[in-house]
Amino acid sequence: MTFNDNARVGGNTAKRRGAGVAVAGGGIAGIGAIAVLLLSLFTGQDFSSLLGGGSTIPGGSQTGTEIENCETGADANERDDCRLAAASLAIDQFWADTVQDYRPPQLTIVDGQTSTQCGTASNATGPFYCPPEEGVYVDPTFFGLLRQQFGATAGPLAQLYVLAHEYGHHVQNIIGIMDRYPNDGTGPDSNGVRTELQADCFAGAWVGAMSQQVDENGTPFLQAPTDVEIRDAIDAAQIVGDDHIQQSSGGTVNPETWTHGSSEQRQQWFVTGLEQGVSACDTFAVPGSSL
Cβ-contact 11, 216 below 8 angstroms: yes
Nearest to 80 by CA among 169, 168, 164, 163: 163
Q: Which is nearer to Zn ion, 42 or 167 (CB)?
A: 42
Residue ranges in 192-221 that form contacts with Zn ion under rule CB under 5 A = 196, 199
Q: How far is the CB of 42 from Zn ion (least distance, A)?
A: 4
Q: Which stretch binds Zn ion (CB under 5 A): 6-14, 35-43, 47-55, 114-122?
A: 35-43
Q: Which is nearer to Zn ion, 7 or 193 (CB)?
A: 193
Q: Which is nearer to Zn ion, 4 or 88 (CB)?
A: 88
Q: How far is the CB of 130 from Zn ion (least distance, A)?
A: 12
Q: Does 44 bind Zn ion (CB under 5 A)?
A: yes
**CA distance linking residue 155 with residue 165, whole number of Å:** 15
Q: Does 42 bind Zn ion (CB under 5 A)?
A: yes
Q: How far is the CB of 202 from Zn ion (least distance, A)?
A: 10
Nearest to 104 by CA among 171, 175, 43, 161: 171
Residue whose Cβ sits closest to Zn ion: 44
Cβ-contact 2, 229 below 8 angstroms: no
Q: How far is the CB of 37 from Zn ion (least distance, A)?
A: 14
Is 181 exposed, middle or buried (CB count within 10 Å of its CB: 0-12, 13-18, 19+)? middle
Tell me the per-residue interface mask from 160 to 199 with Zn ion, x by CB under 5 A, - otherwise: ------------------------------------x--x
Cβ-contact 157, 224 below 8 angstroms: no
Kind plus residue range of the DSSP H or E element containing 137: strand 135-138
Q: Which is nearer to Zn ion, 3 or 42 (CB)?
A: 42
**CA distance linking residue 122 with residue 51, whole number of Å:** 13
Residues that bind Zn ion (CB under 5 A): 42, 44, 196, 199
